[in-house]
Structure formats: structure tokens, C-alpha cells
């Protein structure tokens, strides 16, 4: 569904005034819902204002995750274990469901895993 196609559907048709009043009201109501959903979809696709967490790829650029108080991000591995990544004092605080392992790889790379 293209934006132009949806915008075309949302336009008022000259024949609408000939319809019964209850139908006109229903069409107007549905039009408002569609416009609201279009706005929400746009926000989901473009992300929020710049914040501490974002996804990035070459095609779409940066997608900022919505800002929440404290800026939390959750990661779940294939075993269903959750790791909470929290921004505090311009640092990352990482909490696991179990003890976590920090495996240094180089001076600027670490792997983080849950220890059993």
C-alpha cells in the first residue's frame, strides 16, 4: 500500500453528500481513524527523536528507538534469557537474568553472555 494510494482514499468524494447522514458520519469517523493510524505508522517507521539507542542500516539510516525514562533496551537470546541494557550516567548498565560473563575480545570489543 503506497502513501499516495492511501491519501487518495482519504480524500472526500464529491458524491458523499448524497449519502445518508449516518453513512457520511461513519465515513468521516473511518477517515479520522485511518489518518491517526497513518501518523502512528509513520512514527513507527521513522523512530523517535534522537536518543541513546538506535538501529542503523545502510538503506534506511538510523531508526531511533522511542525514548523511555531511563532508556532501556532488552535483548533475548535463543534460550529465552533476557539481558537488560540500561543507559545511566552516560554509561551502559547491563543486567542479566543470571550472572553475566564479559569476554574481552580486543581493547574495544567485549562479548556479553549469560553464565549458568
User: For residue 28, what pLDDT is reported?
Assistant: 92
User: Do 79 and 46 meet the contact criterion of CB atoms below 8 Å apart?
Assistant: no
- In angstroms, rounded to a whole number, what is the distance separating the alpha carbons of residues 2 and 32? 18
Record the cell numbers describing residue 111, joined without a space.
562479548
User: For residue 3, what pLDDT is reported?
Assistant: 72
- In angstroms, rounded to a whole number, what is the distance separating the alpha carbons of residues 70 and 95? 14
Query: Could you tell me if 42 and 56 lie in one domain?
Result: no
Tell me the mean pLDDT per 10 residues along the chain, length 116. Answer: 75 90 93 86 70 74 66 79 82 85 92 81
Q: Is the pTM of this model over 0.75?
A: no
Number of domains composing the chain: 2
Placement of cell 509513520 in the chain: 42
Query: Could you tell me if 82 and 99 lie in one domain?
Result: yes
Instruction: Give kind and range of the element (H or E) at residue 68.
Output: none
The burial of 73, by beta-carbon neighbours within 10 Å (0-12 exposed, 13-18 middle, 19 or more buried), is given as middle
User: For residue 70, what pLDDT is reported?
Assistant: 55
Residue 11, domain extent: 3-46
Record the cell numbers describing residue 31, joined without a space.
477517515
Query: Could you tell me if 18 and 54 lie in one domain?
Result: no
User: For residue 24, what pLDDT is reported?
Assistant: 92
Amino acid at each position: 500500500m503506497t502513501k499516495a494510494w492511501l491519501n487518495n482514499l482519504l480524500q472526500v468524494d464529491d458524491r458523499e453528500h448524497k449519502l445518508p447522514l449516518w453513512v457520511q458520519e461513519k465515513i468521516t469517523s473511518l477517515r479520522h481513524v485511518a489518518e491517526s493510524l497513518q501518523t502512528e505508522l509513520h512514527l513507527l517507521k521513522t523512530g523517535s527523536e534522537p536518543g541513546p539507542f538506535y538501529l542503523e542500516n545502510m538503506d534506511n539510516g538510523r531508526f531511533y528507538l522511542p525514548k523511555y525514562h531511563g532508556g532501556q533496551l532488552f535483548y533475548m537470546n535463543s534460550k529465552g534469557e533476557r539481558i537488560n541494557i540500561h543507559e545511566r550516567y552516560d554509561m551502559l548498565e547491563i543486567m542479566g537474568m543470571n550472572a553475566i560473563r564479559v569476554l574481552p575480545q580486543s581493547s574495544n570489543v567485549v562479548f556479553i553472555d549469560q553464565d549458568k
